[in-house]
């Protein structure tokens, strides 16, 4: 494990804590549930920004409308962002070093306020996750 993970990478499974599909779709991304959580092992904590690349499919907005996603680092609320439309999204924000750890896993969660109920099978889905982690 390290600072960053792509959902199609060989280390993706080691980073997933909960609420993320175990298999990559189209070899590139994974559906999440309402509150997906990842873990990272950081070698340093100063000057890092958290980044998450994800998508909100347009079809989901017809049923659930705009959504808000809250981003958490080790239980601390980093930000809450409202998304008015679908498409590819990128969240990026500096993280206070005091919230991060080098001696244990750093846990990241992203909670969406409304799930989408898939009409085909009733699955409760949040968003499409491509990659996430910490960058300088």
**Per-residue confidence (pLDDT) for residue 59, from 0 to 100:** 87
For residue 27, what are the CA distances in angstroms to 22, 52, 131, 132? 12, 18, 13, 16
CATH code assigned at 99: 2.60.120.260
Are 81 and 110 in contact by the 8 Å Cβ rule? The answer is no
- Phi and psi of 26, rounded to 5°? 50, 25
**Per-residue confidence (pLDDT) for residue 19, from 0 to 100:** 98
**Per-residue confidence (pLDDT) for residue 97, from 0 to 100:** 98
Secondary structure (DSSP) of 83-94: E-S-EEEEEEEE
Give dist(CA 78, CA 94) in Å, integer.
Answer: 9
Q: How many domains does the chain have?
A: 1
- Phi and psi of 98, rounded to 5°? -65, -20
pTM of the predicted protein model: 0.96
Give dist(CA 77, CA 57) in Å, integer.
Answer: 25
Range of the domain at 77: 4-135
> Under 8 Å CB-to-CB from 122, ≥6 apart: which residues?
none
What does the pLDDT profile of the chain (136 residues) look like in tens digits?
899 999 999 999 999 999 999 989 988 999 999 999 999 999 999 999 999 999 999 988 888 899 999 999 999 999 999 999 999 999 999 999 999 999 999 999 999 999 999 888 999 999 999 999 999 9
Give dist(CA 44, CA 69) in Å, integer.
Answer: 27
């Amino acid at each position: 494990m390290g600072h960053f993970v792509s959902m199609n990478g060989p280390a993706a499974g080691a980073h997933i804590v909960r609420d993320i599909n175990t298999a990559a779709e189209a070899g590139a991304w994974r559906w999440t549930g309402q509150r997906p959580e990842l873990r990272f092992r950081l070698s340093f904590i100063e000057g890092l920004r958290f980044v998450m690349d994800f998508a909100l499919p347009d079809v989901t907005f017809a049923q659930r409308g705009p959504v808000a996603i809250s981003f958490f680092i080790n239980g601390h609320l980093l930000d809450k962002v409202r998304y008015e439309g679908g498409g590819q999204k990128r969240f990026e924000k500096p993280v206070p070093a005091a919230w991060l750890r080098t001696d244990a896993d750093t846990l990241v969660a992203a909670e969406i306020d409304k799930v989408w109920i898939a009409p085909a099978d009733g699955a409760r889905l949040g968003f499409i996750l491509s990659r996430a982690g910490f960058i300088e």
